């Protein structure tokens, strides 16, 4: 009896210990992913609105909230946070170089042996982004390439981790050309707006500037953030310094959007370059005569030219609202929408692209159904007013598709990744959008863009010695505020060229402010295309502190 | 066999301390060999003591038990290396000088003089009264630790004694004596009362009341729920093993009486202690963002920040370890509160891996079976000896299981030490005395066999 009961006890005890072992293995296997360092932050889904009435303070506040919460970190269990930070502070995050080997971002070792991030090129603050105080990617390329910069996607780093050797992240080599970038940044000095410079063949980003900007080295200082947000009290228009106006903005694109209408109309066969538009008798206004297009009782004014009759080429070159309003009025909404969607314009948030930075999808209308029923809206949309909202990056991408015969490459920043061993790996490229238009259409649109600069509204954009094409835009923003000034175009020489999109908030006529800035940058940028590809010197062991 | 095992353990000890030292130095960016002599001194000294104990066992011709002592040594080494890594030289010397050396000395004395077991048996009543006195003294004069429990008694300049530890051994001795007496008496009584309930069941009832009262008393006096749990487990299992009942009726009766007494005590204090309330909340979901409740009122602290925090830390330490562990010195076990004592299993798994973690649990299972083994060899008449072994085995097992369960959220967290691993001089001393008792009993049994 006694013996049997002791046997029972022994059995219960052994089974309990086996159970404990099983639970131990259960925690390790079923929950082993729980400790992986975070790689991705909250989507910062804010946009810069061009309506002065709206208080963008909201957007900035959300943005700041994204910073302080650094990837919902607050919602994670304390042990995960502690252990993640522990790991990340001991990793030397990869440096970031421009295409010429100039160091843009680097990790420096502090006195306590942990690493800190330092940004050498504040003009790239928006595109490159910054890492949070917890050294977890928060924005821009720092975010999209977080795992690479931490080295955690390399097998040899995992071995290092296993052997408790210090981990070194991989370096990034960007397509950015610092002289062009600085030029763009200078052009925006004292203004609000954005400039994007892309390689016309592959969409490589040579420069991306947004103004006003911020200092990524100070972003963790609370007082600095307060200063940045000082104007955002809801009474005055907010500066929105943290927003990347090049890709996160939602500006009315004005006449630059006529390129999209033109592509749709030409490619669907609705018009051809020789189609003649007769605008009828002009109306007398306080600033002289202007033409109008009437649709469903609505009137679209066309003050951009004095000719009564223009062919399609010159209608585009002179930005004739009446011609494009008519095109839009007559165009079936299905056709307009199918071309617009391929080029990135749909319902809010509908069409996005696999970009390396935060991107606010452009929109053609708040609700695409209204384009079927509302002819006036469709006509207004065709001239880039209505409810169309776009970022300079997206407008640049439209030109990219024209220059590449109907294929739109996806803009990219990272051309290659350099591992600490010195091995250089090409970055993975996203496939472009194919078959947007027939090559012939693309050629015709391209010719019309050139005509705009040679004979139309974009003459200020011309650069001696370069083939330049483009489209001006003057986006009415309502009220007494001056319109936003747009120019989107390309400049090329000897098979090399750039696409440049410029927007200056309240900058006035697109044919003036924006076109001059375009010309100034194009002059330098095309020449710079031959430069670069020089890789930064490799520092073995990764211990040098520049 | 024992000698070979000890030599292997010696190698293990040196490698473990060497790599713990190297890991800690490398983590600070220093040469891995820095401070090596200081790191190798404790294992060398401890291994020498083990060797002396081994030769003592050989000299005493203790042949039938060659596994128990090496298993204890291996567990001690794992514990010491973790304590050294977590608490540095101060912690390890405290453990060696206050626990390991006196414990092995006492064990050696018991093995050399097994007749003392007989003396202990005869003095079980005074020992029990001594235990009760210690309990009351601690309850009144004991120092309160950070968790609000009154566990330690500090007398003059002497180091503080965790009185709850020897108390468990005293309870084992007292219960073994009492049950042995009752069952002897049972043999002479055959009358049956109320159908199938045998008369000695009254003895059960008395004992049930006594041990429940003792447990409840310590509950009130010490606020030490870990001790209550272990005292309860020891009482129930010893009663279960020791009394020859034909039906479960007796067991049920004991259970009822015990819960009644516990209920009475709790109703006198008018509530379930707050600690138990929120530990159960943390057990249900350590990550819960709900408020921690005491007596139905919110405390303003979420479960995750409050009682769930240590469970989370322990579980994440276990997860962080992986199969092979982070390596000694490379993990972050210091995030786990009390990693050097109650939660040392979490630290072991984090730095040495799930493999070693499971191996440690396996070693405890082996230890338990080796402690139970002599029970089947002792003559049935030696009820006291056999019950002593049951009590000791269950004591070690419950300590391990309560802490392993707490670490893995298999049970609500209750603070007890893990035998042979945790930092704590008195606890280690008690456990080593228990090992000494087991070895002494084995020696007595061998002698008996020789004579027969």
Q: Are residues B156 and B15 in the same domain?
A: no
Q: How many CB atoms lie within 10 A of CB A73?
A: 18
How far A94 CA sits from the closest chain B CA (Å)? Answer: 21
Mark whether B150 and B43 lie in a shared domain: no
Residues in chain B with CB shorter than 8 Å from the CB of A20 are: 361, 401, 404-405, 408, 410
Residue B255 inside a domain? The answer is yes
Contact list, B321 vs chain A (CB under 8 Å): 28
**Count of structural domains within chain B:** 2
Please provide the average confidence, as pLDDT, over all residues in chain B.
82
Residues of A in contact with B310 (CB under 8 A): none
Per the domain annotation, does B364 fall within a domain? no
Q: Residue A22: closest CA among chain B residues belongs to which residue?
A: B358
Pairing of strands A115-119, A103-109: antiparallel
Residues B29 and B142 placed together within one structural domain of the fold = no
**C-beta pairs of B155-158 under 8 Å, 24+ apart in sequence:** none
Of the candidates A19, A11, A15, the one whose C-alpha atom is nearest the C-alpha of residue B410 is A19
Which residues of B fall within a CB distance of 8 Å from A79? Answer: 312-313, 315-317, 335
Q: Is residue B277 part of a domain?
A: no
Minimum distance, in Å, between the CA of residue A17 and any CA atom of chain B: 6
Q: Which residues constitute the domain of residue B129?
A: 117-270
The predicted-structure confidence for A58-100, as pLDDT tens digits, reads as follows: 444 444 444 444 445 556 677 777 777 777 777 888 999 998 8
pLDDT score for A69? 42
Q: Does the residue B165 lie in any domain?
A: yes
β-pairing verdict for B192-193 and B197-198: antiparallel
| Start-to-end Cα distance in chain B | 27
Give the pLDDT confidence score for residue B226 in this predicted structure.
Answer: 78
Domain check: are B137 and B237 in the same one? yes
Who among A2, A18, A83 is closest to B316 (CB)?
A83
Which residues lie below 8 Å from residue B338, measured CB to CB, with a gap of 6+?
A: B310, B415
Query: What average pLDDT does range A155-175 have in this prediction?
Result: 81
Chain B CB contacts of A78 under 8 Å are 304-305, 309, 312-313
Nearest-by-Cβ selection for A10 from B240, B317, B372: B372
Q: In what side-by-side order are the strands of the sheet with A414-418?
A: A115-119, A103-109, A96-97, A171-174, A414-418, A424-426
Q: Tell me which residue of A416, A333, A423, A426 sits closest to A372, measured CA to CA.
A: A333
Residue B416 belongs to some domain of the structure: no
Closest CA to A101 of A415, A371, A441: A415
Residues B193 and B54 in one domain: no
Residue B189 falls within a domain, yes or no?
A: yes
> Is B83 found in the same domain as B219?
no
| The pLDDT of residue A183 | 94
Domain identity same for B180 and B254: yes
- How close A20 comes to chain B (CA, Å)? 7
Question: Dihedral sign, CA of A68, A74, A78, A80?
Answer: negative
Closest residue to B319, CB basis, from A16, A18, A35: A35
Asked if A17 and B362 come within 8 Å (Cβ–Cβ), the reply is yes
- pLDDT tens-place string over residues B16-27: 999 898 888 877
Chain A interface includes B285 (CB < 8 A)? no
As beta bridge partners, residue A199 has: A498
> Which phi and psi angles does A107 have, rounded to 5°?
-95, 130
Same-domain pairing of B187 and B77: no
Task: Using pLDDT thresholds of 50, 70 and 90, give the confidence band for residue B232.
Answer: confident
Among B220, B237, B270, identify where a domain stops: B270
Give the model's pLDDT for residue A120.
Answer: 92
The C-alpha of B401 sits at a distance from chain A's nearest C-alpha, in angstroms, of: 7
Q: What is the mean pLDDT of residues B129-142?
A: 78
Interface contact A17-B400, CB threshold 8 A: yes
Q: Is A15 on the interface with B (CB under 8 A)?
A: no
Task: Using a CB–CB cutoff of 8 Å, tell me whether A80 touches chain B.
Answer: yes
Is residue B59 a part of any domain in this protein?
yes
Residues B79 and B217 in one domain: no
Contact with chain B for residue A28, Cβ under 8 A: yes
**Chain B contact present for A189, CB below 8 A:** no
- d(CA B256, CA A39) in angstroms, rounded, equals 56
* ipTM value for the complex: 0.87
Q: How far away is chain A from the Cα of B165, in angstroms, using its nearest Cα?
A: 21
Per-residue pLDDT reduced to its tens digit, B172-230: 898 888 888 776 665 554 444 444 545 555 565 566 666 666 666 665 666 677 777 88
B10 and B70 both lie in a single domain: yes
Quote the pLDDT of residue B452. 47
Q: Which of A5, A10, A78 sits opposite B312 (nearest CB)?
A: A78
Q: In this structure, are residues B20 and B39 in contact, taking their beta carbons and an 8 Å threshold?
A: yes
- B369 chain-A contacts, CB cut-off 8 A: 10, 14
The verdict on residue B27 lying in a domain is: yes
Instruction: Note whether B42 contacts A: Cβ–Cβ < 8 A.
Output: no
- Given B209, B239, B270, the domain boundary residue is B270
| pLDDT surpasses 80 at A239 | no
Taking CB atoms and an 8 Å cutoff, what residues of chain B touch A23? 408, 410
pLDDT tens, residue by residue, B279-305: 888 888 887 778 887 777 787 788 877
Domain's final residue, options B74, B90, B106:
B90
Judged by a CB distance cut-off of 8 A, whether residue B30 touches chain A is no
Answer yes or no: do B184 and B247 share one domain: yes
pLDDT of residue A336: 95
pLDDT of residue A171: 94
- Assess whether B266 and B128 both reside in one domain: yes
Other beta carbons less than 10 A from residue B286's beta carbon: 21
- Could you say which residues from 373 to 412 on chain B have a Cβ atom under 8 Å away from some Cβ of chain A? 375-376, 380, 383, 386, 390, 393-394, 397, 400-401, 404-405, 408, 410
Residue B108 near chain A (CB below 8 Å) = no
Nearest CA distance, A523 vs chain B (angstrom): 52
Which residues fall within 8 angstroms of residue B233, CB to CB, at 6 or more apart?
B394, B398
Mean pLDDT calculated for residue range A404-416: 94
Instruction: Please give the distance of CA B179 from its chain centroid, rounded to a whole number.
Output: 22
Q: For residue B266, what pLDDT is reported?
A: 66
**Residue predicted with more confidence, A380 or B235:** A380
Q: How close, in Å, is residue A29 to chain B by CA atoms?
A: 8
In chain B, which residue's Cα lies nearest the Cα of A14?
A: B365
Partner A, chain B 222-251, Cβ-Cβ below 8 Å: 237, 240-242, 244
CA gap B85, B98 in Å, rounded: 19
User: If residue A406 lies in a helix (H) or strand (E), which one and from where to where?
Assistant: none
The pLDDT of residue A68 is 40
When the pLDDT of each residue in chain A is averaged and rounded to a whole number, the result is 83
């Amino acid at each position: 009896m006694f013996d049997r009961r002791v046997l029972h006890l022994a059995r219960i005890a052994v089974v309990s210990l086996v159970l404990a072992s099983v639970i131990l293995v259960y925690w390790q296997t079923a929950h082993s992913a729980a400790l992986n360092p975070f790689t991705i932050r909250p989507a910062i889904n804010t946009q810069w609105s061009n309506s002065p009435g709206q208080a963008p303070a909201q957007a900035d506040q959300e943005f700041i909230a994204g910073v302080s919460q650094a990837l919902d970190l607050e919602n994670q269990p304390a042990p995960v946070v502690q252990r993640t930070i522990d790991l990340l502070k001991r990793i030397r995050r990869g440096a970031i170089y421009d295409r010429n080997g100039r160091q843009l971002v680097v990790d420096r070792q502090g006195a306590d042996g942990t690493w800190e991030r330092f940004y050498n090129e504040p003009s790239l603050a928006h595109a490159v982004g910054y890492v949070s105080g917890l050294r977890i990617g928060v924005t821009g390329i720092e975010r999209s390439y977080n795992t690479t910069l931490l080295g955690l996607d390399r097998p040899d780093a995992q071995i290092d981790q296993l052997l408790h050797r210090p981990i070194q992240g991989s370096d990034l080599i960007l397509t950015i050309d610092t002289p062009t970038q600085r030029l763009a940044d200078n052009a925006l000095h004292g203004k609000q707006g954005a400039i994007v410079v892309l390689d016309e063949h592959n969409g490589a980003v040579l420069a991306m500037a947004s103004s006003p900007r911020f200092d990524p080295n100070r972003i963790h200082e609370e007082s600095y953030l307060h200063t940045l947000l000082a104007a955002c009290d809801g009474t005055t228009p907010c500066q929105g310094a943290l927003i990347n106006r090049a890709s996160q903005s939602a500006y009315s694109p004005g006449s630059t959007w006529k390129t999209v209408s033109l592509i749709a109309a030409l490619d669907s066969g609705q018009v051809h370059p020789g189609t003649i538009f007769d605008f009828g008798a002009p109306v007398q206004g306080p600033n002289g005569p202007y033409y109008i297009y009437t649709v469903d009782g609505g009137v679209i004014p066309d003050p951009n030219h004095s000719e009564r009759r223009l062919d399609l080429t010159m209608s585009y070159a002179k930005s004739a609202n009446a011609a494009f309003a008519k095109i839009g009025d007559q165009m079936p909404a299905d056709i307009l929408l199918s071309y617009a969607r391929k080029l990135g314009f749909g319902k809010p948030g509908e069409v996005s692209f696999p970009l390396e930075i935060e991107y606010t999808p452009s929109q053609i209308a708040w609700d695409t159904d209204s384009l079927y029923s509302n002819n006036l809206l469709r006509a207004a949309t065709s001239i880039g007013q209505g409810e169309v909202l776009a970022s300079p990056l997206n407008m640049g991408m439209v030109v990219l598709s024209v220059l590449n015969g109907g294929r739109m490459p996806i803009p990219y920043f990272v051309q290659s990744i350099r591992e600490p061993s010195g091995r250089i790996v090409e970055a993975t490229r996203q496939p472009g959008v194919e078959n947007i238009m027939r090559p012939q259409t693309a050629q015709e649109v391209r010719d019309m863009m050139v005509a705009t600069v040679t004979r139309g509204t974009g003459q200020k954009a011309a650069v001696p010695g370069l083939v330049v094409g483009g489209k001006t835009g003057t986006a009415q923003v309502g009220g007494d505020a001056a319109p936003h000034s747009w120019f989107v175009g390309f400049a090329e020489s000897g098979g090399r060229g750039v696409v440049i999109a410029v927007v200056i908030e309240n900058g006035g006529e697109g044919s003036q402010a924006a076109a001059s800035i375009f010309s100034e940058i194009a002059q330098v940028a095309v020449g710079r295309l031959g430069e670069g590809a020089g890789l930064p010197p490799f520092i073995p062991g990764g211990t040098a502190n520049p | 066999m024992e000698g070979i095992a000890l030599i292997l353990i010696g190698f293990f000890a040196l490698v473990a301390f060497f790599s713990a030292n190297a890991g800690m130095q490398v983590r600070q960016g220093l040469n891995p060999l820095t401070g090596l002599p200081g790191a190798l001194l404790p294992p060398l000294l401890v291994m020498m003591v083990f060797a002396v104990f081994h030769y003592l066992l050989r000299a005493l011709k203790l042949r039938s038990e060659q596994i128990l002592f090496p298993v204890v040594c291996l567990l001690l080494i794992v514990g010491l290396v973790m304590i050294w890594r977590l608490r540095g030289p101060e912690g390890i010397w405290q453990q060696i000088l206050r626990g390991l050396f006196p414990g092995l000395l006492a064990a050696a004395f018991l093995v050399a003089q097994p007749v003392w077991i007989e003396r202990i048996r005869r003095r079980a009543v005074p020992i029990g009264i001594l235990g009760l006195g210690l309990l009351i003294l601690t309850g009144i004069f004991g120092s309160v630790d950070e968790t609000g429990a009154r566990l330690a008694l500090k007398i003059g300049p002497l180091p503080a004694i965790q009185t709850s530890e020897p108390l468990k051994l005293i309870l084992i001795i007292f219960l073994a004596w009492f049950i042995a007496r009752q069952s002897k008496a049972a043999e002479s009584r055959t009358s049956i009362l109320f159908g199938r309930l045998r008369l000695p069941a009254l003895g059960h009832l008395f004992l049930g009341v006594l041990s429940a009262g003792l447990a409840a008393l310590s509950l009130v006096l010490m606020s030490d729920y870990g001790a209550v749990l272990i005292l309860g487990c020891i009482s129930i299992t010893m009663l279960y093993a020791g009394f020859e009942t034909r039906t479960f009726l007796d067991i049920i009766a004991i259970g009822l009486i015990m819960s009644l007494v516990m209920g009475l005590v709790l109703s006198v204090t008018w509530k379930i202690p707050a600690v138990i309330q929120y530990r159960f909340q943390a057990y249900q979901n350590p990550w819960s963002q709900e408020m921690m409740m005491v007596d139905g009122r919110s405390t303003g602290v979420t479960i995750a920040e409050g009682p769930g925090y240590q469970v989370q830390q322990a579980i994440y330490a276990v997860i962080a370890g992986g199969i092979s562990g982070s390596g000694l010195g490379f993990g972050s076990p210091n995030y786990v509160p009390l990693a050097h004592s109650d939660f040392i299993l979490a630290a072991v798994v984090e730095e040495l891996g799930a493999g070693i973690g499971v191996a440690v649990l396996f070693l405890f299972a082996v230890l338990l079976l080796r402690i139970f083994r002599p029970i089947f060899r002792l003559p049935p008449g030696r009820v006291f000896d056999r019950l002593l072994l049951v009590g000791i085995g269950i004591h070690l097992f419950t300590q391990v299981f309560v802490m392993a369960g707490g670490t893995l959220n298999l049970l609500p967290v209750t603070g007890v030490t893990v035998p042979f691993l945790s930092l704590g001089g008195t606890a280690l001393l008690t456990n080593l005395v228990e090992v000494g008792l087991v070895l002494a009993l084995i020696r007595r049994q061998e002698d008996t066999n020789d004579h027969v």
